[in-house]
């Protein structure tokens, strides 16, 4: 599934690097711990978190994570958005909680499940 | 259930910086005390959350601190005073998501910039005073209806 | 608005979470039970919350929720107790140390551990009808 389809299906708001919406999503990963994401996220994943620290961009970039979805309607600092644009990471926001968002993404990415 | 409070009740805890194992002890004990006094469950939760966040702040940032509580038939007042670095810009620190916590603290699940906003959210009156290089004092009041 | 999007926004207004037994959750996620209070067969989970940042758990007051987390320190149990969390599920096969287990026993909070990651665990539970709290 293209990131664009996921953004539309879940009414996410893309804040940075909109060219990235054409990319293919390989899967998703949910965590608020950078070490965990460093160890377990995969190339082409999208990352679900409520962490808005600047370091999330560096971690995403290092791991080939194409997009970060900030949950809970959390505001994203300007420096994070700027860095994400530079690093070509699509940062998105939603008012949904992490659990809810993960559940819905799981259904979208695994339509044959159940 | 009517509140079982006649005379003011007071108590205090000493908090040690860096002692994560101790984190939450004051809040848990306060919770038990309020419960025994017949305070409403939601009010207990608000007091416990505000106290826990305050405890965490001392443990994360300060060398040491004291937590005092004062319970009357009308309200509970929680006052936390620390010997810590102080807060340079209180207005900024009160913003959700703003934090100066180092990475290792975030790896423990804290320092996401929600501590002070959480304390404020759960108190009816919230006061904070800080002197850089000396410490921070927080006073929170939760009214009993 | 596309068909797909319409469907999602409709369901968003109408859903309310299903109550699921903790025992059923442990089976769905092939989770081991590390701390098992006597009443474990009767424990119902009304909603779930997945987070590694404890202030977020505290922010939303989540009574009767299942907390899904990658952290296993004692202060996670304290957070759960203070926020009114009913049970904790550790992901990525993380196992708590003895201090955490002891505190959970004292507080009567069941602890479970699954090999799955937070995303997959949330996906499977969502599929089973578990939802987030509506308080956002």
For C66, nearest residue in chain A (alpha carbons): A99
Q: For chain B, where are the alpha helices, taking DSSP H only?
A: 25-36, 41-61, 90-93, 103-107, 115-122
Q: For residue A98, what are the contacts with CB-CB under 8 A and spacing of at least 6? A: A30, A48, A49, A50, A71, A72, C49, C50, C51, C118, C122
Position C3 scores a pLDDT of: 45
**DSSP-derived secondary structure letter, C84:** T
Cβ contact A81:A53 at 8 Å = no
User: Is the pLDDT reported for residue A30 higher than 70?
Assistant: yes
**Does residue B12 sit within a domain?**
no
Cα atoms found within 13 Å of the Cα of residue A25, Cβ hemisphere only: 23
DSSP annotation of A53 reads -
Q: E strands of A1-114, at which residues?
A: 13-14, 27-30, 45-49, 67-70, 90-93
What gap in Å lies between CA A46 and CA A106, rounded to an integer?
12
Cβ separation of C56 and B49 shorter than 8 Å?
no
Structural domains of chain C sorted by starting position, each given as residue range(s) with its CATH number in brackets: 16-127 (3.40.1390.20)
Mutation for B interface: C49, C51, C54, C88, most B CBs within 10 A: C54
Taking only the tens of pLDDT, chain C with its 136 residues reads: 344 434 444 333 334 678 999 999 999 999 999 999 999 999 999 999 999 999 989 988 777 899 999 999 999 999 999 999 999 999 999 999 999 999 999 999 999 999 999 999 999 999 999 999 765 3
Residue B105: inside a domain: yes
Q: What is the pLDDT of residues A51-71, one digit of tens each?
A: 999 999 999 999 999 999 999
B77, part of any domain? yes
- In which domain, by residue range, is A12 found? 3-91
Domain-located, residue B8: no
Contact predicate A78/A65, CB 8 Å: no
The ipTM assigned to this model is 0.95
Please state the rounded mean pLDDT for residues B81-93.
Answer: 96
Chain A residue numbers with beta carbons less than 8 Å from the beta carbon of C4 are 5, 8-9
Q: How far is CA C37 from CA A74, B131, C75, in A?
A: 36, 47, 19
């Amino acid at each position: 599934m293209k990131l664009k389809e996921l953004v539309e299906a879940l009414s996410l708001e893309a804040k940075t690097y909109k060219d990235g919406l054409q990319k293919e999503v390989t899967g998703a990963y949910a965590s608020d711990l950078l070490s965990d994401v460093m160890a377990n996220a995969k190339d082409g994943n999208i990352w679900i978190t409520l962490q808005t620290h600047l370091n999330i961009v560096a971690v995403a970039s290092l791991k080939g994570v194409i997009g970060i979805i900030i949950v809970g309607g959390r505001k994203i600092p300007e420096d994070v958005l700027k860095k994400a644009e530079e690093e070509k990471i699509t940062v998105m926001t939603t008012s949904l909680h992490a659990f809810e968002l993960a559940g819905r993404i799981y259904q979208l990415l695994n339509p044959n499940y159940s | 259930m009517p509140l079982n409070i006649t005379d003011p009740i007071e108590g205090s805890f000493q908090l040690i910086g860096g002692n994560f194992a101790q984190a939450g002890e004051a809040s848990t004990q306060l919770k038990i005390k309020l419960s025994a006094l017949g305070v409403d469950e939601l009010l207990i939760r608000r007091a416990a959350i505000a106290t826990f966040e305050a405890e965490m702040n001392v443990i994360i940032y300060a060398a040491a601190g004291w937590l005092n509580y004062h319970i009357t038939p009308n309200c509970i007042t929680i006052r936390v005073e620390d010997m810590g670095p102080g807060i340079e810009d209180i207005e900024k620190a009160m913003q959700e998501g703003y934090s100066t916590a180092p990475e290792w603290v975030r790896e423990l699940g804290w320092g996401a910039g929600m501590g002070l906003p959480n304390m404020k959210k759960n108190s009816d009156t919230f006061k904070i005073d800080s002197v850089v290089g000396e410490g921070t004092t927080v006073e929170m009041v939760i009214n009993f209806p | 608005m596309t068909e797909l999007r319409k469907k999602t926004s409709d369901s968003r207004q109408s859903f309310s979470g299903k109550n699921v037994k903790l025992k059923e959750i442990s089976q769905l996620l092939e989770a081991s039970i590390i701390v098992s209070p006597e009443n474990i067969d009767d424990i119902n989970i009304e909603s779930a919350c997945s987070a590694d940042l404890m202030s977020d758990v505290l922010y939303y007051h989540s009574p009767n929720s299942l907390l899904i987390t990658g952290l296993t320190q004692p202060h996670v149990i304290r957070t759960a107790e203070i926020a009114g969390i009913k049970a904790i599920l550790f992901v990525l096969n993380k196992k708590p140390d003895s201090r955490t287990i002891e505190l959970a026993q004292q507080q009567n909070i069941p602890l479970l551990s699954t090999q799955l990651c937070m995303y997959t665990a949330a996906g499977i539970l969502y599929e089973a009808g578990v939802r987030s709290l509506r308080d956002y």
